Each structure stands twice: as C-alpha cells, then as structure tokens.
Amino acid sequence: MPDEAFSTPPPKLLDQVRDRVRVKHYSIRTETQYLQWIRRFILFHDKRHPRDMGAAEVEAFLTHLAVEGRVAASTQNQALSALLFLYREVLGIDLPWLDGVVRAKLPQRLPVVLTRQEVSGLLDRMNGLHGMMARLLYGRGMRLMECVRLRVKDVEFTRGEIVVRDGKGAKDRVTMLPQSLVGSLQDHLRWRRQLFEDDKAQGRAAVYPPNALDRKYPNAETDWAWQYVFPAAGFSIDPRSGAERRHHVDEKALQRAVKKAVQASGIAKLATPHTFRHSFATHLLQSGYDIRTVQELLGHADVATTMIYTHVLNKGGRGVTSPLDAM
C-alpha cells in the first residue's frame, strides 16, 4: 500500500492561523478576533480559499465593512491586521499596497474626563475588590487589562512602584504605587496568599504562565510570585491547554461595577474604567507635571498621543472669556 494512504492530512487553514498566532505569543483575545475576521472574509467571498484571492478581494471586504457595515475605523483596522497576518504569516504572501479601500471615518473625539470631585464621588460608591481595582486604575493610570493581569511579583512596596508587564505594544513600564493604597493592598495580598495556599493544598495552584515560561521554569505556574493579584472566584478551563486553573478576575465584572457606580452617583458622563486613565493624565497635568512625565507613566510611544489631554485642560473656546461675561 502506498505511503500516501498513511500520510497525515495538512491542518485546516484556521488551525494554521491559530498555531501561528500562538507561536508569535499573541494574546487569546487577538487569536479570537483574528480567527473571527478571517472566517468572515472567507464567507464574504463564498468560501473561496484565501490563497486564490488577493488584494482586490481584501479591498472589497474592507470597503464593505466601511460602507455597508458602517464599522468604526478601529474595527476596520483590526480586520485589516487579521488579513495581513493571514497572508504574510500563514500563506507567505505579501499583498500590494491597498489603495482601493474605502476607509472608515476616524472620529476626532476628546476623551471623557471626570473632575476630581466626580472621581471621589464615584470611588466612594465602590468597595471591595472592584473598589480597590478602580482606585488603582485612577491612582496609577493603568489600562483595564493591565490591572486585571497584574501579578504578585510586580507590586514593589519598598520602592513604591508597580511594574506593568507586556502592556500595549508588548512594552514594560514602571508606574507609581499610590501610598494611600499600600495598607489595603497589603491586607488584600495576605488574603490572596491564604487563597493560594488553599489552592496549593488541593493541587490546583497553577496559573497561566506568559510567553511559554513553563518550558523555561517548569515550576513557575505554581509559584506565589506569578499568581494574579486579583483572582477569579472559581476555576476555569484554559481554552488553549485545556488545563483547569484559577484565572484572573473577569474584566467585565469591573466594567459593570463602574457602570453601576456611575449611575448611582448621578454623573451625566459616559464613564468607563478607561475614564480613570484619562482622568489620571488630566489631573497630573493640572497639578503641573510636565507632558513627558505623563507620557512615560501612561506608556505612550509618541508624545502626540499624550498631547490630547492638553486640549481637555483648556476651558471652552480655548480658555477665551466670553464677551457676555465681560459685560
């Protein structure tokens, strides 16, 4: 019998994409989004194989998203990134420049910023785990997922610092630890250590190791230093490895808690957990800190991104006094 009869069939396209994403150490969120967009692209073109298509088909799909789907510019860019990854990283094809794409309109909006009084009123209505996380978001200007994914080893009480690992753009940065939170955070970590010891006694203390760390340090996933500061209430199945672990707290729970606090406080602004980051930057600039310091604390690659907060600082009409008020 010929050897071909026993040969293993090549993996399906989406399985190849999934494997390549994991080799590149992209997050599970990026993996999920890329697979979704590639699947939609294939279905849009009547299930044709991407190898049989090219720039014209990619342009047609992206234009459809902008014109018919009316998606936001960020959504269209995400779809483009997924398709470029498919062609370059999986199929080994470099697409020519996509000149024919109708671009979704990129809105020029100022960020929502709370006053100091509004922040205080909002935080007064939040307690427990979510209250502590909200105070960290405002107190150090972190992004939502940077707070949710915080590990024990990255909290430095002696130096008064918190290290943000693998932030946006896969960059690390150091930011301050608010001194007003030191005591409550230490109490929380004592409770967290007891939970870890209880899990360890049951043989269930493993956490997700980043960037295949488990291959270099086999015991890292059960080490106290690598535990999440804000753990989930129960165990869940890792969609990649199938292992049952205690993951970090669900970020959606914090989003709901913030929304509930906003409604209870009567603030007429569309505030979310990310609003704390905008407020952090604006309030630092109001206090006289220079733009470069704020840029470093926020982890912005370009100071132009941080400059948007200088517009928020200005009063209406760029600080000009209305002639009506001068009468």
Residues annotated as part of the active site: 143, 168, 274, 277, 300, 309
**What is the spatial distance between Cα 267 and Cα 304, in angstroms, rounded to a whole number?**
29
**What is the spatial distance between Cα 257 and Cα 126, in angstroms, rounded to a whole number?**
7
Q: How many CB atoms lie within 10 A of CB 183?
A: 9
Q: Are 21 and 86 in contact (CB under 8 A)?
A: no
For residue 323, what are the contacts with CB-CB under 8 A and spacing of at least 6? none
SS3 labels along 35-63: HHHHHHHHHHCCCCCHHHCCHHHHHHHHH
What is the CA angle 217-18-44, rounded to 5? 160
Beta bridge partners of 163: 174
3-class state of residue 25 by DSSP = coil
